[in-house]
Amino acid sequence: MRNLNMTVTCWMVALVAGLLVAMAQPASGGSFIDSFNANGHVPHPSNFALSTTMVGTNGWVAHPTLGNISHRATQDGTRTGLNSIGAGNSQEGCFAFPGCGEAHAVSDVNIFRVATRVNGTQASAGGSGQVDGNGEIFFGDTAGQNGYRVKFGTTGPGSLDTVQGGIAAFSTPLADTGFQTAGVEWFALEIVVPGGGIPAFAQWATANNTTNFPTTPIAPFISLGTFGEAGLDLSSVSIASTSSAGGQSSIHFDNVRASGSKPLPVPEPASLALLSVGGLALMRRSRKA
């Protein structure tokens, strides 16, 4: 009987230990993906200006800081999607401020990845040549007041901004990078917020026309640097662009993806104590038996 009690006790202690470990493990996070060629988006076959806007489509709302003008799903010649299947991207650069942009609510995520590009020839609506522009992605709260932002453009430098209270409290210059070269078409731009005191960071990888993007970029990620601390209210992702010449810019977006997980809170001291007492009680009872 004693051996049986000891066996039961060992199993109970192991169960308690396993419970403690499980409570400290990351939980599965939510996810969101939009390729702009499904889920209600209606691109026009030849004139992007006649396509449906992102606002109100598949949950998109107006960008929190760049006004209520949004991108459109567009079928745009050689820029259609990453693998030229279907209508595949969001594009409509607005002249200067407030620009064009949209946001989408997310939950339980810590990775924001988007396909974008800053090179190539415009083909939509009979246009030709490249119109320079600027783009940005943001990962943070729904008001756009606190979070992480990456600014970039067709030419010149950008920045990694830690946004606090609606302003860039910490900003790191982003010099011309590899994705601004002629050989890179589509690239993956990613913001990762590890949590646990580890700084958030941004990185990019060549994507071009790989079918599996954004799951498997065709090249290793290259670091763009780290952010300052902005908190962990990661309830919204957004994309935006402006054009230096009015009309559409050469900043396109596709395959927006938010995924990942957040760690569950470590059990509070009272819970740990209760579980420990339970384990000790089981051990004492087995000894008496």
158 and 277 together in one domain: no
136 and 277 together in one domain: no
156 and 273 together in one domain: no
168 and 283 together in one domain: no
What CATH number does the domain containing 252 carry?
A: 2.60.120.200
pLDDT tens digit sequence for 97-123: 677 899 999 999 999 999 888 875 544
Q: Are 29 and 108 in contact (CB under 8 A)?
A: yes
pLDDT(234) > 80:
yes
Helix (H) or strand (E) holding 192: strand 186-192
Percent of all residues in the chain with a pLDDT value above 70, rounded to a whole number: 64
Average pLDDT over residues 196-225: 81
245 and 199 together in one domain: yes
Q: Give the count of domains, the chain.
A: 2
Please list, in sequence order, all residues whose beta carbon lies within 8 angstroms of the beta carbon of residue 74, skipping any fewer than 6 positions away.
43, 44, 48, 51, 87, 89, 90, 91, 92, 124
Question: How many other C-beta atoms are found inside a 10 Å radius of the C-beta of residue 81?
Answer: 23
Mean pLDDT of the chain: 74
135 and 16 together in one domain: no
pLDDT at 8: 36
pLDDT tens digit sequence for 39-97: 678 877 777 778 888 888 888 999 988 877 778 887 655 555 575 555 567 777 777 66
Q: Which of 35-44, 204-213, 217-226, 277-286 has the highest mean pLDDT?
A: 217-226
pLDDT(125) > 60:
no
Straight-line distance from the first to the last Cα atom of the chain, in angstroms, rounded to the nearest whole number: 8
Helix axes 269-288, 2-24, angle to 10 degrees: 170
Amino acid at 63: H
pLDDT at 22: 35
Q: Cα–Cα distance between 75 and 87 in angstroms, integer?
A: 5
pLDDT(18) > 80:
no
Peptide bond into 45 cis (omega under 30): no
Q: Where are the beta strands (DSSP E) in 22-68?
A: 32-34, 61-62
Q: What is the DSSP letter of 205?
A: E
Percent of all residues in the chain with a pLDDT value above 90, rounded to a whole number: 28
**Nearest residue to 148 via CA among 91, 195, 108, 196:** 195
15 and 38 together in one domain: no
11 and 85 together in one domain: no
Q: Are 238 and 106 in contact (CB under 8 A)?
A: no
pLDDT tens digit sequence for 248-270: 666 888 889 999 865 534 444 44
Residue 180: which domain range?
Answer: 28-259
12 and 133 together in one domain: no
Average pLDDT over residues 29-42: 77
9 and 108 together in one domain: no
Question: What DSSP assignment string belongs to 126-174?
Answer: G--S---EEEEEEEE-TTSSSEEEEEEESSS-EEEEEEETTEEEEEEEE
pLDDT tens digit sequence for 126-137: 444 556 788 999
